[in-house]
Amino acid sequence: MDLNNQYAAPHRVVITGMGLISPLGSSVESTWEALINGRTGCDRITLFDTSNIEIKIGCEVKGFDPLAHFSARDARRMDRCAQFAVVAGKAALENANYVITEENTYDTGIILGSGIGGVGTLTTEHAVMLNKGPNRVSPFAVPMMLPDTATGQMSIHLKIKGPNFCVVSACASGTNAIGEAFELIRAGRASTMLAGGTESPINAFAISAFHNMGALSTNNNDPAHACRPFDAKRNGFVTGEGAGVLVLESLEHAQARGARIYAEVTGYGVTNDAYHITAPDTVGPAVAMRIALKQAGSRAARIDYVNAHGTSTSLNDSNETKAIKTVFGEGAYDLTISSTKSMSGHLLGAAGAFEAIACVKAINESIIPPTINYQNPDPECDLNYTPNVAVKKPVHVAMSNSFGFGGHNACIVISEF
């Protein structure tokens, strides 16, 4: 790390690698192929016995075998969300053709978002304590359940020693992680950052808790159509899991090593509603979008695609629509918008990373993925949500929105390089 170059003029930040494990595929390409073909990852839950809870559906990562990636010993000592993060991070580095060395390890960092971290470990070990006594609780319970353990495990497995921390801002976490990594590189505090999110919340406790607050779809008998953002008959989100990691670099660093550049991060906005712990407000999201657009400057004169937060809950979808109209005015009706959550489900803290990758692919492939299951127009949601079928269209600038419980709002602008 060249300490003399810190705090110089802001650096441009580009995306040079991507890794993804999702309910739609075990890679960026397989996930993208499912997205543009409108395939859902929603199905009956198999990760645990749902016979005694009301919600039976989720968007699971299918066929994930930890032993294909870790020793049996390491796998036992890592929560599923940390396993996802390490695998996605390794894939992102390989995709970027970026090799960690003694020369660059302190100039490379990791920031991940996770809403609830190792909640699976927490609930499992709590049950052990109740059923077998406190002395039987695993000594690895704490490092397995902490949200920041995923970044710690990534640093160990990938030998990365630079800036390293976890962002916890509910469903905005993944986008905040990318935005904060973007700001670190702009400020010259690191040349390269792995940024994104990871989550594994499909367990009886988390599903029951979200259901009891009225957040989840109850369409157990029709999983494929359960998640329907912006549709008048939407009745809640479907819980998803997975991890997405992007490799961000300063433009100078990427060009010096001859890296392939997928896109450029040009704007980041972050606000809080200071309104209600779970109910959304319109002003905060609108201000976050305006901040991101202002930072992106002339590059954001025209937004070609908005990847909406679009959770399929009544309040979120109508409120996000109002916020978009507040920012773009009549121009909102010219935007092409979609919610990829209609297919992936809601990956909570990993959602923003998944959706940022979808934006990059939309820019690279000139295809906008659809919002599936959109059949019943809602007068309060009257914009173009790319209903049911992907649209071929040049995408030069994309915006990705993420909003979380606690009033957290995050928005990034990604531009064609």
pLDDT tens track, the chain, 417 positions:
454 544 457 999 999 999 999 999 999 999 999 999 999 999 999 999 999 999 999 999 999 999 999 999 999 999 999 999 999 999 999 999 999 999 999 999 999 999 999 999 999 999 999 999 999 999 999 999 999 999 999 999 999 999 999 999 999 999 999 999 999 999 999 999 999 999 999 999 999 999 999 999 999 999 999 999 999 999 999 999 999 999 999 999 999 999 999 999 999 999 999 999 888 889 999 999 999 999 999 777 789 999 999 999 999 999 999 999 999 999 999 999 999 999 999 999 999 999 999 999 999 999 999 999 999 999 999 999 999 999 999 999 999 999 999 999 999 999 999
What total number of domains does the chain contain?
2
Give the model's pLDDT for residue 100.
Answer: 98
Q: Is 396 a catalytic residue?
A: no
Q: For the full predicted model, state whether its pTM sits above 0.75.
A: yes
The C-alpha atoms of residue 199 and residue 118 are separated, in whole angstroms, by: 8
For 2, the token pair is 């060249």
Residues 368, 398: contact at Cβ < 8 Å? no
| 243 plus 271 within the same structural domain | no
7 lies in a domain?
no
Amino acid 7: pLDDT: 44
284 lies in the same domain as 239: no
Residues 237 and 337 in one domain: no
215 and 284, same domain (yes or no): no
143 and 292, same domain (yes or no): no
Q: Is residue 2 part of a domain?
A: no
The answer to whether residue 198 is domain-embedded is yes
Task: Answer yes or no: do 44 and 130 share one domain.
Answer: yes
Cβ(247)–Cβ(15) under 8 Å? yes
Active-site residue (options: 157, 253, 346, 408): 346
CB atoms within 10 A of CB 54: 12
Q: Is 365 exposed, middle or buried (0-12, 13-18, 19+ CB in 10 A)?
A: middle
**Residue 3 pLDDT:** 47
Domain-embedded: residue 1: no
Q: Clarify whether residues 307 and 380 are in a common domain.
A: yes
Whether 236 is covered by a domain: the verdict is yes
Tokens of 289: 């979008």
Please pick, among 42, 59, 171, 359, the residue that the annotation labels catalytic. Answer: 171
* Same-domain check for residues 88 and 222: yes
In-domain check, residue 30: yes
The answer to whether residues 351 and 298 belong to one domain is: yes
Domain that holds residue 356: 267-415
Query: 163 and 22, same structural domain?
Result: yes
Q: Using CA atoms, how far apart are residues 340 and 321, in angstroms rounded to an integer?
A: 16
Q: Which residue among 228, 256, 284 closes a domain?
A: 256
Type of residue found at 271: T
Query: Both 239 and 291 in a single domain?
Result: no
The residue whose two tokens read 């919610």 is 339
Is 171 a catalytic site residue?
A: yes
Domain boundary (206, 229, 256) is at 256
Q: Are 271 and 252 found together in one domain?
A: no
φ/ψ region of 348 (left if φ > 0, alpha if ψ in -120 to 50, else beta) reads left
Strand 408-415 versus strand 263-272 pairing type: antiparallel
CATH number, residue 295: 3.40.47.10
The active-site residue out of 227, 309, 381, 408 is: 309
Assess if residue 6 is contained within a domain: no
Active-site residue 126, yes or no? no
User: Of 232, 256, 280, which residue sits at a domain end?
Assistant: 256
For residue 186, being part of any structural domain is answered with yes
